């Protein structure tokens, strides 16, 4: 089959410009950051344990409030900034208002009577995640990992919502 080039007309359709994917990449970066911050919150601050504290060898009476000795969170405002940059206002207010941590003369103190750690076997060291149902102000994040409990090892999926609040993507709740 032969056709003169002049009769062929345009040889290729115009290739549409590729959509700007920077917003999608930024959402994925933020999701990873939020999941890492959630892990710190659950493992080190509010879930499985509390931040390290200076508890003297001999405690006087029924004293339960001790200074936190973690360079990341020397003051209550530092802890508050971390939590408010991770969770929506309702969740952040609940965490910060539960009495577990308090501002005492400008320093962060922890109340050991509020500690309620327990057994937990979900692997947050090696997980995958995916986003779906993404809109301008909401997305669903799925975390795919392993629950390696004494009852047996199984693949699990944890699900949470990310919401855009005050111009930032935040987790709706603590994931565990």
Mean pLDDT of 8-15: 54
If DSSP codes are grouped into helix, strand and coil, which group holds residue 166?
coil
pLDDT, tens only, 81-131: 999 999 999 999 999 999 999 999 999 999 998 887 666 778 778 889 999
| pLDDT of res. 23 | 72
pLDDT for 115 equals 81
Over the stretch 12-41, which tens digit does the pLDDT of each residue have? 555 545 555 667 888 999 999 999 999 999
- d(CA 66, CA 115) in angstroms, rounded, equals 12
Mean pLDDT over 51-62 rounds to 84
Q: Are 96 and 80 in contact (CB under 8 A)?
A: yes
Q: Higher-confidence residue: 87 or 59?
A: 87
Instruction: Kindly tell me if the per-residue pLDDT of 48 is higher than 90.
Output: no
Beta bridge partners of 68: 53
Which pLDDT score, from 0 to 100, does residue 3 have?
58
pTM: 0.81
State the DSSP string of 82-138.
Answer: HHHTTB-HHHHHHHHTSSSEEEETTEEEEEGGG-------B--SS-EEEEES--SSE
Q: What mean pLDDT is reported for the chain? A: 87
């Amino acid at each position: 089959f032969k056709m003169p080039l002049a009769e062929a007309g345009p040889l290729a359709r115009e290739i549409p410009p590729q959509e700007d994917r920077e917003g999608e990449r930024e959402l994925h970066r933020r999701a990873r950051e939020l999941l890492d911050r959630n892990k710190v919150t659950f493992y080190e601050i509010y879930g499985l344990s509390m931040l390290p504290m200076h508890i003297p060898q001999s405690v006087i009476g029924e004293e339960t409030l001790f200074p936190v000795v973690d360079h990341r969170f020397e003051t209550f405002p530092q802890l508050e900034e971390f939590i408010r940059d991770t969770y929506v206002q309702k969740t952040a207010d609940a965490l910060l208002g539960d009495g577990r941590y308090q501002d005492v003369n400008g320093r962060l103190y922890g109340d050991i009577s509020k500690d309620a750690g327990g057994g937990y076997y979900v692997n947050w060291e090696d997980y995958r995640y995916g986003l779906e149902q993404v809109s301008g102000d909401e997305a669903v994040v799925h975390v795919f990992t392993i629950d390696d409990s004494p009852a047996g090892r199984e693949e699990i999926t944890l699900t949470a919502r990310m919401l855009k609040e005050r111009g930032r993507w935040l987790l709706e709740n603590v994931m565990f």
